[in-house]
Structure 1
Amino acid sequence: MLVRIEASELPGRECGQGPGDPGYRNVHVGVQRKDRPDEILGLHPGDAASAAWDLEVDAARKETGWDLRGPYVQGRPGGRFVYLSWGTVDGDGAFAMFRRAKLWFDGVAPDVMEAAARNGLLLARLGLTDARGEPLCATVRPPLVRWTAPAA
């Protein structure tokens, strides 16, 4: 199955300084590979109009629902998620993460997951700017993300 993440409303290439926050420049976002925090898929600049990632996953039916696994899927069965990693990119192209968002699969409604398994596509749509105008981080579940299963 394909998991497609479509993001809009990116916060910009700079995060302002604040108490305990040094601020960041040349901010980018991408998907972190499992067990390889330095390996990021599809870096997009923080001021892009939109960002999208396609992740191939294995979907297995379990007694408690569906379990998704793949190179970019993190966590244990029943607690799977994808990390959207925020970081800076230096002049040599090196990425240095400063925060992450956990896009949880447990927020996918059972009927949507069934349709996604049947159609071969699970689509996540979300904005990447939080209420303070900063990069979205921490736990991301509905209503911050909208999960659907369009026909592939």
Structure 2
Amino acid sequence: MMGRMRIRIDAVGLPGLVCPVLVGGRVSEYRNVHVAVQRRDRPGELLAPQPGDARSASWTLECTTSVSPDGIEVQGPYVQDRLGHRFVYLSWGTVDDAGIFTMFRRAKLMLDAVPADVLAAARGGLLAGRLGLTDAQGGPLCARVRPPDITWTAERAGQGDTPR
């Protein structure tokens, strides 16, 4: 049986509009850095890009859920499905004067790392993920993100889950 659920990503501690990067042994930098949720199979389609110096960022995603022999499956336009792993991409990029977003890095918020009891409690309501977006070197958080780097909780539908 299919159900509806929303995923809300609440992020704090963004790294800033300028981020250093090591390229070929030389330090360079990305300017006018933004972060957004990437649509499944459409890397150029981004949900609500937020500037890297924002105090916080939040995105709400509409999803469906179903029960399978492996547990609760989450699907939706912003839920990636690669090699049996479901996740949400946060794409980091620069925005030029024409407003063009050019991705340079991504973080994978791993949905298979959500505790089963939390995911079950969120079914029909809201799954909230809270995380900081600056890595240990002061740059944009990237790679696979699992607890304890993200905290997943279940909330009742209607608790600040307006889609964006």
Shorter-chain TM-score tier: over 0.9
Indicate the residue corresponding to 1:74 in structure 2: 80
Indicate the residue corresponding to 1:149 in structure 2: 154
Contact map agreement 1:5 1:52 (CA 8 A) in 2: yes
Q: How far 1:99 moved relative to its partner?
A: 0.2
Structure 2 CA distance, aligned partners of 1:94 and 1:63? 43
Q: 2:52 aligns with which of 35, 46, 56?
A: 46
Give deviations 1:44-75, integer Å, cap 9, x for gaps: 00000000000000111111111111111101
Are 1:102 and 2:93 counterparts?
no
Give deviations 1:67-96, integer Å, cap 9, x for gaps: 111111101474100000000000111000
Are 1:93 and 2:96 counterparts?
no
Indicate the residue corresponding to 2:31 in structure 1: 25
Structure 2 CA distance, aligned partners of 1:19 and 1:71? 33
What amino acid is the match of 2:53?
D
Q: CA RMSD in A?
A: 1.3
**What 5-or-longer segments of structure 1 have no aligned partner?**
none
Structure 2 CA distance, aligned partners of 1:65 and 1:22? 44
Are 1:2 and 2:6 counterparts?
yes
Structure 1 CA distance, aligned partners of 2:99 and 2:28? 21
Are 1:124 and 2:114 counterparts?
no
What amino acid is the match of 1:16?
P
Alignment partner of 2:117: what SS?
helix
Alignment partner of 1:125: what SS?
strand
Identity %: 59
Alignment partner of 1:75: what SS?
strand
Under a length normalisation based on structure 1, what TM-score does the superposition of the two structures give? 0.95
Q: List structure 1 runs of 4+ shifted beyond 4 angstroms.
A: none
Are 1:15 and 2:19 counterparts?
yes
Contact map agreement 1:121 1:150 (CA 8 A) in 2: yes
Alignment partner of 2:122: what SS?
helix
Give 1 or 2: higher strand fraction. 2
What amino acid is the match of 1:83?
Y
Structure 2 CA distance, aligned partners of 1:112 and 1:78? 20
Under a length normalisation based on structure 2, what TM-score does the superposition of the two structures give? 0.88
